[in-house]
Amino acid sequence: MNWSRRIRPVVIVLGVLLLVGTLIGAGALTAGHGNPTDGPKSANPAQNPSTKAGGPITMGTVDSDPPPVSYGLPTVLQSGSIAEVFVKDGQEVKADEKLYTFDTSIQTSDLKRASAAVAVAKTKVDEAKEGARQHAEKVKVLNTGVDVVAEKVKWQTYLVTLIEGNLNKGYMAEKIPEADWKAKRDLNADLYKANIDKITAINELSLKRAELDALKAADPQVLVKEAEAGVDQAKAEVNKAETAIRLCTVTAKTAGTVEQVKISPGATLGISTRDPALWLIPAGPRVVRAEIEADFAHRVSNDLIGKEVTIYDNADPKITYKGTVRRIGGTFLPKRSESLIMSDTRVLEALVEVTDPAPAGKPPLRVGQRVRVNLGQ
């Protein structure tokens, strides 16, 4: 009897808890089976603006046209030290205006060496031209030498004939048989020497003529042209060195606004440097690159080109802007917004030109800002 009195309060508490749980469960079931004609309500109806038939609402990114440009190390350098920075964040620059420059000590030395090589090459041209002038003189001299030796051959031949004639007259006067004349002439020292001199003169004439032919065949202008080509090559090295020095001063390729200057004098940039020295946001129109995913591609056609659409601030969809569709991409490509992330997500890109990126009373659209584009209106 005492035991049942002790557990009675516990039984009452458990009964109350069971009753409360039953009531809560019944209420939940009733809420889950309401009027079937009531559609589900959006958790954030402001972010789901109504669409017209023909186009979905897509995410997009504000961009400049042309896109922003990152500046870093010039192609002529493997690494370099910043000598001077001419701009700062938010500064507007014109095309070809200087942004920053690298130390050019090495490039200046290369230029001096190349300039000296030009001077040496020009000296070789003068030498080649002098050689060409001397070549003509050598031909004249050798021609004269050939004539002299030819004359020598003529007189040596005459001398041999004269000696033979005198010997023959003597043999005849001595009544020596003619059949013995040749044998006796072969023993005559004067005739032997005259024949040797004649043969020597003939051989000398052959050598002189061969030398003259070789000299005439040689074109002295070849050496002149070769030397002149050396000058052109040396001048090209000068131009290369000058170009390297010029490229060490980085200039704006287009007018725009400088953003995120990350360098200062003394900083070193190399081919492994990942961060750009600065960004240049080109002046000009602002566009939105809308990302149309494959599930909605069937609702987009070229009929949208030239149509006005609404652009919503992704953070506050009550802020809207107007734009015009300029192009619908024809290829599924990776999202630009995920260019640094390995992703297989591919989208069609619609280019929307913003009518007024900074309307009165609204914050301006900024490059890189995420927005939504209602392609249905």
Q: CATH number for 108-242: choose from 1.10.357, 1.10.287, 2.60.40, 2.60.120.
A: 1.10.287
Sorted by where each begins, the domain ranges of the chain are: 45-65+284-374, 69-102+249-280, 108-242
For the stretch 316-347, pLDDT in tens is 999 999 999 999 999 999 887 655 455 678 89
For the stretch 35-93, pLDDT in tens is 433 433 333 334 444 444 456 899 999 999 999 999 999 988 999 999 999 999 999 99
Helix axes 189-217, 105-173, angle to 10 degrees: 150
* Domain covering 69-102+249-280: architecture: Beta Barrel (2.40)
Task: Give the bridge partners for 60, in sequence order.
Answer: 290, 371
Lookup: tokens for 141: 């001299």
Report the distance separating Cα 217 and Cα 223, nearest Å.
Answer: 14
Same fold? 69-102+249-280, 108-242: no
Query: What CATH fold (topology level) applies to the domain 45-65+284-374?
Result: Elongation Factor Tu (Ef-tu); domain 3 (2.40.30)
For the stretch 251-277, pLDDT in tens is 999 999 999 999 999 999 999 999 999
Phi and psi dihedrals of 256, rounded to 5? 175, -160
Report the distance separating Cα 73 and Cα 79, nearest Å.
Answer: 7
For the stretch 193-222, pLDDT in tens is 989 998 998 998 899 889 888 877 878 888
Lookup: tokens for 166: 């005198």
